Amino acid sequence: QVRLVESGGESVQAGGSLRLSCAVSGLRFTGNSMGWFRQAPGKEREGVAVIYTGPGATFVADSLKGRFTISQDKALNTIYLQLNSLKPEDTAMYYCAAGGSWSDREIIDDFEYWGQGTQVTVSS
């Protein structure tokens, strides 16, 4: 079965950094579109970043470019999200997803597989 397991979320102060990990199993890693989404209570789910695994093409939401970076480790079947200069408004549950459409110009919310999420809390 397909399994996506996120880790790395925790409470940090504004201005801090964090690296989230998502390990995938039961699914071919290379040549798959994967991404990170986030959702805060009472708000809609929003796309954060996507990556086409293998070749490594990436796209980060315009509002987050310069602070967030998505990357991969093919040997570990893992993608990462580096979060820098964190702000209180970044507080949310962050979800890893796989099996979606690929675009290098937008994040399309049609992913088939989802992890359980990891909580990121940023205090002021």
Q: What is the DSSP letter of 68?
A: E
Cα(4)–Cα(120) distance, integer angstroms:
17
**Mean pLDDT to the nearest integer, 87-111:** 96
Is the CB of residue 12 less than 8 Å from the CB of residue 27? no
So what's the pLDDT on residue 90? 98
pLDDT band at 117 (very low <50, low <70, confident <90, very high): very high
Give tens-digit pLDDT for 10-66: 999 999 999 999 999 999 999 999 999 999 999 999 999 999 999 999 999 999 999
So what's the pLDDT on residue 19? 98
**Mean pLDDT to the nearest integer, 107-117:** 97
Mean pLDDT of the chain: 97
Is the CB of residue 35 less than 8 Å from the CB of residue 45? no
Cα(10)–Cα(51) distance, integer angstroms:
23
Q: Tokens in use for 57?
A: 């093409």
Q: Tokens in use for 15?
A: 């201005």
So what's the pLDDT on residue 59? 98
Cα(53)–Cα(35) distance, integer angstroms:
10
